[in-house]
Every structure is written in C-alpha cells, then in structure tokens.
Amino acid sequence: MIDASKAWLQNTLPVQFQPFVSRWRDDTCAMAQQFTPWLLNGEHLGHWDTQHQQTFEKVFNAAGLTCTVTSLGIECTHTSGPQALSAKLASAGNMLKAMGLVPGWRHEEQLVMNSLGEVLATAERALFKTLGFRSRAVHVHVENHKGCVWTGVRAMSKHENPGMLDNLAAGGIASAESLDSTLWRELNEEAGLNSDDFAWIEPLPPHELVLSRPLLYGGWHHETVMLFRGQLKQGRRPRNRDGEVGAFQLMTSEACIEAINDWQFTPDAALCCALALATAK
C-alpha cells in the first residue's frame, strides 16, 4: 500500500501537474504540527488537534477510555473487544457532537481498523475526521467513448468542499459493505449508472493509496482510497439520484489538467483524475 505523500506525487505525476503537486499537503506539512498522535494499546490510530486536546481527554475519560499523555502522544488502553470499544467511541462521539466538534454528522458507521486491517470497532463516519481515524473510500474516474472526462459538481449543500469538482462517483465504505458493493452503490446514487452502462471498468493503478493530512477547515483526513477508472458506452450519461451532485460536466483532458492545477477539484478527486490522465490507455 502506497502513502500519497508529496514526495511520491512528485516522483509519480508528470511535470504538467507540478502546480497541483506543489500545493499538496501531507503529514509533514506545517499544519501537521498542530496535531498529536492518539494511540490505542500502543498503536497509532488517530490525530488529535491540540487546540481541543484537553476537551478530547475529558470526553474520552468520561466514555471509559482513560487517556495518558506520553512522549509518543495520547495513549489509551482497551482490552474488552470491538463491541465494547464501539460503545465507548459512540459515547465519546455523542458528547463531542453536542459540543459542536463533530460537523457533518451522517448517522453512518465505518470500520475502525489497525494497520494490519484488523477491525477494532465501528464509529460514526463524521467522527473519523474529528479524531483522525483512518477510513476507507472509493473514487471512480469515468470517461466517455471519446476520452473526455465526466466530472460531478458537488452540491452546495455538502458540508465538505461544496461546489467543487469531483470524480463521477466517490464515497466512503460503510461498516457492513464490501468494496464492490460500495463501488456500484456510489455509481448508482451519484451518477445513476450500473454495470450495463460501462464498456469497461477496472482498478486504476496503484489502486490503493493512503492519504494522511490536516484539513483546512479542521480535523485530519486519514483514508485508504481505492481507485477505479472506466469508460461509458456510447450514448450513456450520468444522472444524479441522491441530491449530492449539483451538475455534471464533460471535460477534455486538457481542461481537467487546468482545473486540477487551479485546485477546482477536491484534492482526492484531483489525484485520482491526475493518475488516470497520466496513465491513459
């Protein structure tokens, strides 16, 4: 699995994407110094914003996850299994939500996993960015039969990056979902597409990337992103079903590169699109 660091982008993407790469944030950027690691049983699982550290400590202690400040960060110990940990995280999450520290609450659960892919617990999706847990998501780069790129314009009602360009489909993998079911659910909900609409669809190399960076609007984004690319059959067009896409645009590769460098895409979608264009068939 590859870390999508700034250094990796510089070595991977062609020079025409340099303006985009120069603005890329990773866990070594200056903003990252504002965060401290959160460890569970000695393993780094999250990032806490130091301006909320005392509040987080009080909330976690109240939820039954006793916190200790060490040289490595904030350490907790838990030995009672995934169900008990999920309950404690739910309690902490509800307290933080009441304090206004968990924006964009979705009533959706995702898996909290360690570096080996073992499931430790489930937690509310919005809590992942507040606490810097690593989530999982899919992004799908889609072109028409002429090689033009279909992009979505995020609805202005979206909590994150409203109005920005996005991949035709992108979304988090829920706790009870497989990768394949998430892929086709997102394509159906966001673009009204199913497998019959595609001439082909396949993993986009390197397929799995780990993104880890502080967010401009607060919190930490730590996510394993599964990348795909596909081509629609002639005459097939996207149509949004869930209200999360304000419009669709069909763009040339040149227009996409310009929009990527101008930061008109969300960062994750820009990276997916750049990789797809750099490895075009």
Q: What is the pLDDT of residues 75-101, one digit of tens each?
A: 999 999 999 999 999 999 999 999 999
Give the domain ranges of the chain: 2-28+135-278, 30-129
pLDDT at residue 281, as a whole number: 62
Confidence of residue 160 (pLDDT cuts 50, 70, 90): confident
- Give, in degrees to the nearest 5, the angle at Cα 232 between 227 and 236: 135
Average pLDDT of the segment spanning 29-49: 96
Please state which CATH class domain 30-129 belongs to.
Answer: alpha beta
What ranges in the chain are assigned the alpha helix state H?
6-12, 18-22, 53-62, 82-98, 127-131, 179-191, 253-261, 267-278
The arithmetic mean of pLDDT across residues 129-147, rounded, is: 96
Flag whether pLDDT at 127 surpasses 70. yes
Say what the pLDDT of residue 236 is.
97
The residue-averaged pLDDT of 11-32 equals 97
Reported as a pLDDT band with limits 50, 70 and 90, residue 226 is: very high
Is the Cα torsion angle 14, 19, 20, 21 positive or negative in sign?
positive
For 134-161, what is the mean pLDDT? 94
26: left (phi over 0), alpha (psi -120 to 50) or beta: beta
- ∠ CA 4-7-8, rounded to 5°: 45
Least-confidence region, from 4-13, 21-30, 92-101, 114-123: 114-123
Per-residue confidence (pLDDT) for residue 158, from 0 to 100:
86
- Give the Cα separation of 255 and 211 in Å (integer): 25
CA geometry: angle at 259 spanning 188 and 222, to 5°?
60
Angle 93-99-104 from CA coordinates, rounded to 5°? 65
Tell me what the mean pLDDT of segment 122-146 comes to: 96
Contacts for 250 with CB less than 8 Å, ≥ 6 apart: 144, 148, 149, 150, 151
With 90 as the cut, is the pLDDT of residue 116 above it?
no
Nearest partner of 115 among 58, 175, 39, judged by Cα: 39
Mean pLDDT of 179-197: 96
CATH of domain 2-28+135-278: 3.90.79.10
Tell me, what's the pLDDT at 203? 97
pLDDT at 175 over 80: yes
More confident residue, 149 or 118: 149
Least confident of 57-66, 109-118, 179-188, 262-271: 109-118
The predicted model gives 25-54 an average pLDDT of 96
pLDDT value, residue 244: 87
Q: Find the mean pLDDT for residues 27-43.
A: 96
The closest of 135, 96, 112, 107 to 221, measured between CA atoms, is 135
Mean pLDDT is lowest, of 122-131, 221-230, 241-250, for 241-250
The H-or-E segment that residue 72 falls in is none
Query: What does the mean pLDDT of the chain come to?
Result: 95
Mean pLDDT, to the nearest integer, of 126-144? 97
Cβ–Cβ < 8 Å for 109, 125: yes
From the list 136, 137, 40, the residue with the least C-alpha distance to 88 is 40
The pTM assigned to this predicted structure is: 0.93
